[in-house]
Amino acid sequence: MTRLIAEITEHDRRYYEQDAPSISDAEYDALMRRLRALEAEHPALLRADSPTQKVSGQAAEGFAKSRHLAPMLSLDNAFAESDFTEFAARIRRFLSLAETEPLDFIAEPKIDGLSVNLLYEHGRFVKGATRGDGAEGEDITANLLTLADVPRELPAPCPALIEIRGEVFMDRADFEAFRATQEAALAEREARKARGEKLGPAVTIPVNPRNAAAGSLRQLDPGITAQRPLKLFAYAMGEASEVPTTTHHGWLETLKRWGFRVNPLSTPLREGATDLLSETPVAFQARLGRERPSLAYEIDGVVYKLDRLDWQARLGFVGRAPRWAIAWKFPAEQARTRLLRIEIQVGRTGALTPRAVMEPVFVGGVTVTHATLHNEDEIARKDIREGDTIILQRAGDVIPQVVEVVDAGRPDRGPPYAFPTLCPACGSHAVRENDDVVRRCTGGLICPAQTVERLRHFVSRRCLDIEGMGEERIETLHAMGLLGSPAEIFRLHTHATQLEALEGWGRLSTQKLFDAIAARRNPPLERFLFALGIRRIGEQNAKLLARHYHSIGALRVKMEAARIIGSEAREELGSIQGIGPAIATELVEFFAEPHNLEALDALLAEVTPEDAAVIEAGENPFAGKALVFTGTLETLSRQEAEARAEALGAKVTKSVSKKTDFVVVGADAGSKAAKAAELGVTVLSEIQFREMAGLG
């Protein structure tokens, strides 16, 4: 039985994690049957970790979540010299410095990669995570251990606890070689497919170095990551029990001493300098812009950081970005190409969106064939016509845009573009309402494009997050007539035989999908609301509504009552901070539409959204608990945070002991954070504290 368990577990791993099974489904089933039979014969020997006791596909869950001790923030952008000057002036004003006071900055290339957070405890690398949403990322420790640039140990003296941040990237040359390998592997796979042979794992072709680095880091098998040529430039500090330096340049020196790769182009600069010796930010920006094409890796700008850490601490943060740093981006790259035709896509709300299909052109590091045209008015304003030669622009990750037409005066030019007034997907009328710039299909539920797009949204990562329901599968199921509404997703298992028979599905993969669906029958209310795809109800608004109304039942009753303008329910809706009149109208209209209510009822027969937590004094995570704040909070003053905790029934104390329940760590937290880690007291980031305290 032990041997069988080990064997099956290994096959599960190959199947779910590596997408590379080495035995047939029938052989796998035989192993499982044998194990089940033995377990039935010897119930006393049944092990809790037996694969027969597990929902299959659990291993495919991916990475564990990992909370950053200090949030990983982003940077404000500058695009022109005036933005930079304003940034420096703001610093001088904030610190009450004279206008003539020169400011020392460190300029660092802004690496176009993926930021990661490395946690060191007593000099040992213990955990590494992706940035995620800034508060919480994915635990990719095993993958980061494969990078030579991640030291396992830091030489003494080093702080008891420190988070080190940096950018994982792939050199351009390594990327080209890697892409060539992947292309060859894909060609080989296609050939096998043509010969009807077993295919093996899927092969993806990365579009740029950043994408290649991201894909490589997110491998469930660190063995694959190990084969990828990844590097890491370290540049920042997160939580630290003790800050080992007083300047940013000192910090970079420390990182080097500890064995990290630090970008050699990092340069001290002086803004407002009168001596002619040091380079100014303006000169540096221009120089790096010129050197950019010859660098070994891709950069998309320069990050300027104020050198003095005491000043950084005083400046703090606004929103999600520090006041003491700025990312000055290089201008977008442009290229010229021909517009072959204009294509119309229909979105989940019926919006008709025009897209340019162009002759392939290399711009901003990638070859592009499509660009956004925004909307009907934009096409008319720029008078863009099929067959025109156009200037295309691409900045960073942004979708390419058409800047202008360059040969508008040519004699053989075609007629102006006529935007369709019928939906290309279902033939219904497409109309523009009031002052809406968007033309929408009026087909509603009969429009296949809207149905598929709605389903895609419903199962997407930020909504119900159903793994294994890709676009292709949704389209297939929709075309087969098995899937027309979100509720039907939860009835797919009644068509098991039909699905298993589909090419590329099979028994295991179909079961895996059913398991993934079954696991989502109790979605958090906010996700459920976002998934409904109500216009103007994005993730943020869904959260606000969930927090306010707590349950789908209550929300629905209130929305129906809110139909009457001036009613108490309507006033209540309008009083929610962040919900304006346009959003309120959209919501009320959604809940007034009979076919929406029908769809909702059908869905609620299948799923039960989890109510949002109600936070009231007496029954909240802090009631009766001992709390210590340490470090500087960024979004709350210390008084406000303490007052809030006390209002929730917590006792706020000054020192950490075994009796402490929570330690909330702000920026630059010192020994208390270390002590908390030592005693195993739950440590909360400011973001976590806000969430738990109902401050959002």
Q: Which residues participate in catalysis according to the annotation?
A: 110
Is residue 111 a contact point for ligand IVH (CB under 6 A)? yes
According to the binding rule CB under 6 A, does residue 390 interact with ligand IVH? no
Question: Shortest gap between Cβ of 87 and ligand IVH (angstroms)?
Answer: 14
| Binding residue (CB under 6 A) for ligand IVH from 9, 18, 56, 74 | 74
d(CA 559, CA 588): 6
Q: Which burial class, exposed, middle or buried, applies to 179 when counting CB atoms under 10 A from its CB (0-12, 13-18, 19+)?
A: middle
Closer CB to ligand IVH, 108 or 526, in the complex: 108
Candidates 55-63, 69-77, 332-340, 515-523; binding stretch for ligand IVH (CB under 6 A): 69-77
List 28, 105, 235, 530, residue binding ligand IVH (CB under 6 A)? 235
- Is residue 631 left, alpha or beta, with left meaning phi > 0 and alpha meaning psi from -120 to 50? left
Strands (E), 413-499: 430-431, 440-441
Q: Give the nearest distance from C-beta 663 to ligand IVH in angstroms.
A: 22
Q: Evaluate whether 23 touches 13 at the Cβ level (below 8 Å).
A: no
- What is the x/- site pattern for ligand IVH, positions 113-132, by CB under 6 A? --x---------------x-
| Site stretch for ligand IVH (CB under 6 A), options 72-80, 192-200, 425-433, 463-471 | 72-80
Q: How far apart are CA 539 and CA 140, in angstroms?
A: 26
CA 462 to each of CA 73, 349, 517, 533: distance values in angstroms, whole numbers, following the listed order: 20, 17, 15, 12
Mutual angle of helices 539-549 and 552-561, in 10-degree steps:
90
For the record, the structure tokens of 595 come out as: 């076919």
The SS3 assignment for 122 reads coil
Identify which of residues 73 and 438 has a Cβ nearer to ligand IVH in the complex: 73
Q: Using CB under 6 A, which of the segments 67-75, 464-472, 478-486, 601-609 binds ligand IVH?
A: 67-75
Q: Which stretch binds ligand IVH (CB under 6 A): 109-117, 360-368, 513-521, 595-603?
A: 109-117
Distance of closest approach, residue 76 Cβ to ligand IVH, in angstroms: 8
How many whole angstroms separate alpha carbon 109 and alpha carbon 288? Answer: 8
Quick one: which segment of 105-113, 351-359, 493-501, 584-592 binds ligand IVH (CB under 6 A)?
105-113
Residue closer to ligand IVH by CB (options 113, 159) is: 113
Instruction: Please report, as residue ranges, which positions from 310 to 339 form the binding site for ligand IVH (by CB under 6 A).
Output: 322, 325, 327
∠ CA 652-656-660, rounded to 5°: 60
Residues of span 75-94 touching ligand IVH by CB under 6 A: 75
The yes or no reply on residue 269 touching ligand IVH (CB under 6 A) is no
Q: How far is the CB of 79 from ligand IVH (least distance, A)?
A: 14
Counting runs of H as helices and runs of E as strands, what totals does the chain give? Answer: 25, 24
The identity of residue 671, as a single letter, is S
CA 438 to CA 220: how far, in whole Å? 42
Q: What letter represents residue 596's amino acid?
A: N
Residue 11 vs 131, nearer CB to ligand IVH: 131
Beta strand pairing call for 333-346 and 103-111: unpaired
| Ranges within 1-30 binding ligand IVH (CB under 6 A) | none
Phi, psi of 132 (to 5 degrees): 60, -135
Q: Which residues of 537-558 are buried (b: 16+ CB within 10 A; e: fewer)?
A: beeebbbbbbbbbebbeebbeb
Using CB under 6 A, pick the residue from 12, 136, 138, 167 that binds ligand IVH.
167
Q: For residues 337 and 402, what is the distance between their CA atoms, to the nearest angstrom? A: 10
Site string for ligand IVH, 287-306 (x = CB under 6 A): ----------------x---
How many residues form the binding site for ligand IVH (CB under 6 A)?
A: 15
Q: Which residues bind ligand IVH (CB under 6 A)?
A: 73-75, 108, 110-111, 115, 131, 167, 235-236, 303, 322, 325, 327
